Structure 1
Amino acid sequence: MTVGAVAVPIPPVERVVRGRGGRFEFLDALRGLAALAVVIQHSSERLWPAYFRFSQAHFGLGEFGVFVFFLVSGFIIPASLERGRSLGAFWVGRFFRLYPLFWACLTAAMILHSIHRYGLPAGFLAHPALEFITNLTMVHFFIGGPDIQIVGASWSLSYELAFYLFLSLLLIGRLNRRSVPLAVLAVGVIGPGALLPPAMINGSQANVVTRSMVVVATILVAVVFARSAADRRSALAAVLLVFITVPLVLNQPGASVLTFGYFATMFVGTVLYRITSGEITARRGWAVFGFAVGVIFGISLFVEPSVDPLTGAWVTWLKQPVTIIPAYLLFAVALLLRRHSFPRPLLFLGRISYSLYLVHALVIEALPRWTTSVVGIPAAWLTLCTWVIGALVIAAVTYRTIEKPCHNLGHHLITRIDARKRTDDHPQTVAA
């Protein structure tokens, strides 16, 4: 960046964040805590109905973990995208990072279902072949919602993938470094987003008006990015991405206010990344962070109390800020401690967090519950320990046998792509 006419170098993030083996310790610690929170939530809500009512009405530990994950993604994915590699190399890396393990879990779920150790939603069973293919795309949540997803925890992956699409668009349109105005805009539309009906293309409330709104929004966004692109080829790529991304996101099945909140959270994570890279001042970045926290609290004040359909619990306006704001604060504390080392067990959890996030749903259903107490330990607590330990063991195995090898393969392919790109960009230098 520049100050006046003097160029000021942007310090690499690696200089201001403690890392280990090419990974940022504070992010791994956060991933580990977030994944463990989701596992404990999903295990405990099956064992203790009272806890399930509490989590639905007061504090959702799993939802807290998901928001931590979204902040982590918002922080690290732009850093990965802006390393000077091609957009194609980025997507190759993401594919091998996410899809092989995800597809393995989908396959495992189908096998477990065939031996009556895993339940599948009725929506999936109505058209299993079609919905299996839909799940393979990882944007299944935007297409068919929770009624078709095979692995229950995988709904957030659809949001992650959509965020990658957004970032790709911003990169093509040369808008990717305008993180502060983008985050402010994303946070600012959380409230108005509540006015949009869910599933605007194929939902129960979808009609000519909602579908026309999707078409108009898609065209307008396509025009903006086509005009921002550097050349015709980039403009065509941007238009294609827009016509994939915008209809998908506007067809999300849940409350629109949550969808905008998820994406806003990821963009806030990007702003915090810009602080550590030296691209924006800490005062400006934390102001955006404070703005987001304030909007989340303010919007919650307008939430009308309601009865949770799953538990019958009375849910007030406090549920969302009590769940979401602590996730923001935890990330902020970890970021402020980014130069420090974190406990090795937590870092290990962070490394296997993606495996843990996906496989725990399979483990919870596949492993039977304890029916009697042992040495005075209640059966429910024994079951909880069995599920958590089982999920950790299986996740460690899948990380070693599937996730890490595929990630290494993706890295190898990226290296080859980068080398080819350098050859194409500087043919005379390479020839010499």
Structure 2
Amino acid sequence: MLGRRALIAVNLAVLALSYVVVIYYAQGFTTASYFSGQWTNSFVQFQFFAGGMLLALVLRGRQPEWHIAGRAGLFAVAVAAWLVAYTVFDIKADNPQATVGQSLAGWPLVLAGAALMLIALLGTPRRFLPAPLIYLGRISYGLYLIHIFFFWLVYDKCKPWLTHIAKAAGVGTWQDAIGALIAFAASVFFASVLYHSVEAPFLRLKRRFTIVHSRG
């Protein structure tokens, strides 16, 4: 309604608000049980919404036409940004313990890493993308909705059982990896069911109301 400049201004304001909340958490304003809710706090997540919209305004619908090696290098830089945020600045999703300084240095790295991953993959020729990854992208909204439930189920409610089974099988040191594999497999299965039974029918329905303007 207000144009490009207003969009930029609004998103910069949202970004600033997000980091105000990040600082609020970094000051350790409340108890540990509530303190761990930083990652699921909407205001913290708004930085990614704002960052994505600012990136869209910069790209203006264009897709990078880069060599696959350049894309891989950029993706590696993005992963490195996340690793630095995690190991150096102590940015951890469900157990945040970073100081104010670490938070102000680490969270922008997380945001930058997400943006670089998107840019690196945007417009990548399909032949370079394995079919399983494309399918995970297709069901990604379902994965986003339900994955935390299965990881909670495996690591909290089923942890004693998992520990017992892993030790009995002589693979006790691998129980966390086994748990992650079980939670991931369950998440993929149920996200796939959700996609085909709920999301796909709505996507087909949406096409009936799509307006395609003819060219002049």
Which TM bucket (shorter chain)?
A: 0.5 to 0.7
The question of whether the paired residues in 1 share the 8 Å contact of 2:14 and 2:47 is answered with: yes
Q: Out of 201, 206, 209, which is 1:410 matched to? A: 206
Q: Which runs of 5+ in 1 are unaligned?
A: 1-169, 199-252, 278-304, 420-432
My pick for the range that moved more, 322-331 or 369-378, is 369-378
Correspondences of 1:294-305 after superposition (within 5 Å) = none
Distance in 2 (CA, whole Å) between partners of 1:195 and 1:402 is 35
**Kept after mapping to 2: 8 A contact 1:363/1:391:** yes
Shift of 1:400: 1.4
Partner of 1:376: 171
Query: Kindly tell me: are residues 324 and 410 of structure 1, through their superposed partners in 2, closer, same or farther at Cα, counting changes over 3 Å?
Result: same
Note closer, same or farther for the CA distance 1:197–1:271 as it changes in structure 2 (3 Å cut): closer
Question: For the aligned residues, what is the CA RMSD?
Answer: 4.1
The aligned counterpart of 1:391 is: 187
User: Percent identity of the aligned residues?
Assistant: 19
Measure how far apart 1:313 and its partner are: 3.0
Q: Can you list the C-alpha shifts for 1:304-343, whole angstroms capped at 9, x where unaligned?
A: x99x9x74734313321232211111112122x5345321
Deviations 1:232-282 (A, max 9, x none): xxxxxxxxxxxxxxxxxxxxx9586x46634421322322551428xxxxx
Q: Using a 3 Å threshold, how does the CA distance of structure 1 residues 340 and 347 change in structure 2: closer, same or farther?
A: closer
3-state SS, counterpart of residue 163 of structure 2 = coil
Letter in 2 for 1:276: R
Within the alignment, does 1:267 sit opposite 2:42 as a pair?
no
SS at match of 2:109: helix
**Within 2, Cα distance between the matches of 1:411 and 1:255?**
30
Aligned residues between the structures: 159
**One-letter code aligned to 1:353:** S
Which of 88, 113, 130 aligns to 1:343? It is 130
Task: Report the secondary structure of 1:357's partner residue.
Answer: helix
Cα deviation for residue 364 of structure 1 reads 2.9
> Cα deviation per residue 1:75-100 (whole Å; 9 max; x = unaligned)?
xxxxxxxxxxxxxxxxxxxxxxxxxx
Within-5 A mapping of 1:192-207:
193=17
Call closer, same or farther: CA 1:192–1:265 in 2, change over 3 Å: closer
The higher-RCO structure (CA 8 Å, 6+ apart) is 1
TM-score of the superposed pair, with normalisation by structure 2: 0.56
Q: 1:353 to 1:366 in 2, by over 3 A?
A: same
Q: Which residue of 2 aligns with 1:319?
A: 106
Alignment of 1:252-263 (within 5 A): 258=44, 261-263=47-49
* Partner of residue 9 from structure 2, selected from 180, 185, 188: 185
Larger radius of gyration between Structure 1 and Structure 2: 1
Quick one: distance in 2 between partners of 1:411 and 1:396?
Answer: 21
Q: 1:364 aligns with which of 147, 151, 165?
A: 151
Segments of 5+ residues of structure 2 without an aligned counterpart are: 23-39, 64-88
Pair 1:192–1:272, CA change in 2 (3 A): closer
Q: 1:363 to 1:190 in 2, by over 3 A?
A: closer
Cα distance in 2, alignment partners of residues 393 and 363 from structure 1: 11
